[in-house]
Amino acid sequence: MSEFKRRRFLKTSAAVAAGAAAGPLIWVKDASAQWSNTPEKGAKLRVLRWKRFVQGDEDQYLANVKKFSEKYGVEVRVDAEGWEDVRPKAAVAANTGAGPDIILSTNDDANLYPEKLLDVTDVCTYLGKKYGGFYPVCDPYLRPNGKNWIGVPLGVAGVCMVYRESHMKAAGFSTFPRDTDGFLKLCKALKEKGTPPGFALGNATGDGNTFCQWLVWAFGGKLVDANNKVVIDSPETIRALEYAKELYPTFVPGTLAWLDPNNNKAFLDEQISLTNNGISIYYAAKTSKDPKVGALAADINHSNMPIGPAGKPTEFQLFFNQMIFKHSKYPKAAKEFIRFMMEEEQFGPWMQASIGYVTQPLVAYEKNPIWTVDPKHTPYRDAMKIMRPIGYAGRLGYASAGAAADFIVVNMIAEAASGSKTPAEAAERAQKRAERYYKV
Amino acid sequence: MRVAAALRRCGARARCRQRTYAAATEGDVRASVSRLLDNRNALGLLFLLPAGALLLLFLTYPLGLGVWLGFTDTKIGRGGAWVGLENYEFLFGDAVARLSLFNTLFYTVVASVIKFALGLWLALLLNKHVPFKTVVRAVVLLPFIVPTALSAIAFWWIYDAQFSVISWTLTELGLIDRYIDFLGDPWNARLSTIAANIWRGVPFVAICLLAGLQTISPSYYEAASLDGATPWQQFRYVTLPLLTPIIAVVMTFSVLFTFTDFQLIYVLTRGGPLNATHLMATLSFQRAIPGGALGEGAALAVSMVPFLLAAILFSYFGLQRRAWQQGGAD
């Protein structure tokens, strides 16, 4: 009896000690995941990443980098630029064959210059095996031929519906509507109560795309089919545009010119009560020194985007990748760096320090405590599980990148919603514009 | 010259001739170099060389490369093949590109006309003896000196649909009941960006025209007023004609800057709403860099050149000195 108890005690105390030392290792890792790689001697790495959206992200990332440098004796220099500026720099590095060894960039960048990127199949196979696999959406982004990985997924900047709980209740809803019909009713009711919603319909690369792509997909529309044939002009799209036309009058004025920061500003100033955004609004409210803004935090809540006639979640999220360039002089060190940063000892604390701003790409990290330490974080946990890539349903490449950068879908929704074009005209125009990018 | 002098000094003695021959070749070289250095054209060319090299490297080469890129389908991340006029054909048929052309022309014409009118008026005012003349002139120049990106951000807040200080003031005064949607409505956005551009550009025009006004000799005005000319007549028959060369130069620069404006639009609207404020410069950037289509963006940028050339030629003919300005007959 006592022996049993002692063994039990020893096991639990060991587990607690291990947990305290190495962070919450609550999932069983695949013991067969093998990794053997030695960085080159005297290696020096240059890493270019997008500038942090929350301070904790940068602090923990640099702490992890320091750990790597100390463990392997590899000097690492990390530069950070605004995320929209990283994309052209990555393109220039690819074009000129010089520049940073590792670049953390966004969306379908890797599909613009796949032949300039180092094959990282070994890293991804190892990580996938160890941590329950990457989400399926990583394939079109970074494993375009289904076999070779051209980059390692970092995660997504999750976007959810952000709303004021008290205003929603005052509008007559006890929980956030899960379908598009309910969502429209909610927006109308919010507007009537003087607490309107606001969604970016301007050239906002983040919020504009997450809202507009979701809307089109929720009604079954899509830009291209699996053969990259443009099919945006369809009855489903027109239904989505008509829905947008009903939604638009409920928005605050000015959304046609909203860029990415506008909805954050408006929400924190209580001008709107509902928008789509990353967790940064909640974070800003929680950490604000202004007591009025700080009080908002208790009233903010999140929900995944509603489901439309398509019958399943149809979200778009901002995808983050990690690419190693072939021109790197230290490919082994670079691979080791990425592998190291994605390991649970580094990635887990990093997710927590980023207070959930980045949603994980590997299934096992769903269990990271950041998602449950505050129940309001949980909707962001599944961002990558339920997302679709922006070039849905076709292949990613120059065409999808060009069509996205030209805001074809966002403009279409803005035109139809504001009434400057009828839904039919807007869809037709989007079709013509997209066909130029997807021409054979 | 030196060879001849050496010959003269040594006479016709053979030794001297030999020496002078050696000296001649060396002197020849030295002579030609010194002749070169005395020759104004050659010297001028030599002085131009450093600046010319810089211009060649940083202006001609990129311009040439841009023109060439416009004829290819280069994408970011890979080279392209020659496609001839395909990019231009597409842009001609693309509704958004045509819209950007209209926007650019509208923006340039309206902003330049107003900048000229306001600038000239401001210059005329500043030309008079006002107290604290120097301070006022320095202050007037401020909007032009402030970095564009900073003033653009300030205007972004002034034009915000929710937080605009203009809307707030007008609401407090009871003149309006809803906040003005400066940037959300296409035509409002166009006019708002033009207003921001005018605010930024008027000082440049004003100060340059002021400098021109200062060169007009007051004796002309005296003569005119002696002849009984009204202030308007003085302005029309004395000021304007003498100012024309300056106006030509200033407005050329102003039109050039306005036509190729990028920073203001990019910060304020990124070309929205509904592409209503997309200028050719911003659209070309959007197509080339985030969109990845370098060839198409280059073609769009290059298609600005004919308009710019037209503006320059227009001012060139305005710049020509007319005979009557120097007292002769026209």
Q: Is residue A144 part of a domain?
A: yes
Residue A245 lies in a domain: yes
A107 HSE (CA, 13 A, CB side): 29
Would you state the pLDDT for residue A393? Answer: 86
Provide the pLDDT for residue A103: 95
Facing residue for B183 by CB, picked from A257, A406, A415: A257
Give the domain extent around A298.
160-316+406-437
The average pLDDT across B258-285 equals 91
- Nearest CB to B272 within list A256, A266, A402: A256
- Joined together, the tokens standing for residue A404 give 């996205």
Give how far B158 is from chain A: nearest CA, Å: 13
Q: How many CB atoms lie within 10 A of CB A397?
A: 19
Does A377 map to a domain?
no
The domains found in chain B, sorted by start residue, are 2-68 (no CATH), 86-326 (1.10.3720.10)
Question: What pLDDT is recorded for position B316?
Answer: 77
Q: Identify the domain boundary among A308, A341, A367.
A: A367
- The verdict on ipTM greater than 0.85 is no
Flag whether A82 is in a domain.
Answer: yes
What mean pLDDT, rounded, does chain B reach?
86
Express each pLDDT in B170-224 by its tens digit: 988 988 888 888 888 899 999 999 999 999 999 999 999 999 999 998 899 899 9
Residues A295-327: pLDDT tens digits?
A: 888 999 999 999 999 999 999 999 999 999 999
Q: What is the pLDDT of residue B3?
A: 66
Q: Are residues A177 and A76 in the same domain?
A: no
Distance of CA A63 to the CA centre of its chain: 23
A33 within some domain: no
The residue of A406, A410, A439 whose CB has the most chain B CBs within 10 angstroms, and thus the best one to mutate to test that interface, is: A406
Whole-model pTM: value is 0.79
pLDDT for B175 equals 86
Same domain, A230 and A262: yes
For residue A240, what pLDDT is reported? Answer: 94
Residue A225 token pair:
């089919």
Which residue in chain A has the smallest CA separation from B293?
A402
Q: Has residue A34 been placed in a domain? A: no
Same domain for A135 and A202, yes or no, is: no
Residues A311, A345 within the same domain: no
> Are B162 and A252 a contacting pair at CB < 8 A?
yes
Which pLDDT score, from 0 to 100, does residue A25 have?
47
> For chain A, what's the residue count?
440
In this prediction, residue B322 carries a pLDDT of 60
Predicted confidence at residue B73, as pLDDT, reads 87
Look at residue A16 in the predicted model and tell me its pLDDT.
46
Do residue A107 and residue A165 come from a single domain? no
Question: Which chain A residue has its CA at the smallest distance from B78's CA?
Answer: A95
Residues whose CB is less than 8 angstroms from the CB of residue A275 and which lie 6 or more positions away in sequence, other chains included: A161, A162, A163, A197, A198, A199, A200, A207, A263, A266, A267, A281
Q: Where residue B5 falls among pLDDT bands split at 50, 70, 90?
A: low
Rounded to whole angstroms, the Cα distance separating A24 from B58 reads 56
CA distance B243 to B221: 14
- Residue B274 at interface with chain A, using a CB cutoff of 8 Å: yes
Q: Residue B280's closest CA among B272, B271, B267?
A: B271
Q: Residue B149 region, left (φ>0) first, then alpha (ψ -120 to 50), else beta?
A: alpha
Domain count, chain A: 2
| Residue A255 to residue B184, Cβ atoms within 8 A | yes
Residue A438 near residue A424 (C-beta atoms within 8 A): no
**Least CB-CB distance to A254: which of B96, B161, B291?**
B161
* Yes or no, beta carbons of B186 and A92 under 8 Å apart: no
Please choose, from the candidates A151, A145, A153, the residue with its C-alpha nearest in 3D space to the C-alpha of residue A362.
A153
Q: How far apart are CA A429 and CA A233, in angstroms?
A: 8
A298 domain residue, yes or no: yes
Are B270 and A88 a contacting pair at CB < 8 A?
no
B269/A202 CB distance under 8 A: yes
- A27 inside domain: no
The Cα-based distances of A289 to A230, A265, A283 in angstroms read 49, 15, 12
Whether residues A328 and A413 share a domain: the answer is no
Cross-chain residue pair B96–A433, CB shorter than 8 Å: yes
Question: In this predicted model, which residue has the larger pLDDT, A24 or B35?
Answer: B35
Q: What is the pLDDT of residue B318?
A: 64
Whether A430 contacts chain B with CB within 8 A: no
Number of cross-chain residue pairs from A and B with Cβ atoms under 8 Å apart = 115
The first and second tokens of residue A92, run together, are 């220039």
pLDDT at B12 over 80: no
pLDDT of residue A1: 45
pLDDT digits (tens, 9 = 90+) for B52-101: 999 999 999 999 999 999 999 888 767 788 988 989 998 998 889 999 99
Among B residues 242-271, those touching chain A with beta carbons less than 8 Å apart: 269-271
**DSSP codes of every residue in A83-110:** HHHHHHHHHHHHHHT-S-SEEEEEGGGG
- Give pLDDT, residue B140: 87
| Cβ separation A256–B270 shorter than 8 A | no
State the first-to-last Cα distance of chain A, in angstroms, to the nearest integer: 76
B282 vs A: CB within 8 A: no
CA–CA gap between residue A203 and residue B270 (Å, rounded): 6
B130 CB neighbour count, 10 Å cutoff: 11
Q: What is the pLDDT of residue A21?
A: 42
* Below-50 pLDDT ranges, chain A: 1, 4, 9-10, 12-26
Contacts of A415 in chain B (CB under 8 A): 274
pLDDT of residue A13: 47
Question: What pLDDT shows up at residue B131?
Answer: 84
Same domain, A279 and A415: yes
pLDDT tens, position by position, B118-139: 999 999 988 887 788 888 888 8
Across the range B285-296, mean pLDDT stands at 86
Domain shared by A111 and A212, yes or no = no
Using the structure block, give the residue that is written with the tokens 């410069």: B281
Tell me, yes or no, whether A110 and A237 share the same domain: no
Interface of B with A in 140-169 (CB under 8 A): 160-163
CATH code, domain with A114: 3.40.190.10
Same domain, A233 and A344: no
Residue A126 near residue A339 (C-beta atoms within 8 A): yes
Maximum distance among all Cα pairs of chain B, rounded to whole angstroms: 107
If asked whether residues A223 and A138 sit together in one domain, one would say no
Residue holding tokens 């300056």?
Answer: B246
Is A229 in the same domain as A256? yes
Q: What is the mean pLDDT of the segment spanning B100-114?
A: 95
The pLDDT confidence band at residue B15, using thresholds 50, 70 and 90, is: low
What are the CA-CA distances from residue B107 to residues A258, B194, B208, B269, B278 (Å)? Answer: 21, 6, 22, 14, 10
Which residues lie closer than 8 Å to A430 by C-beta, 6 or more apart? A232, A233, A237, A408, A409, A411, A412
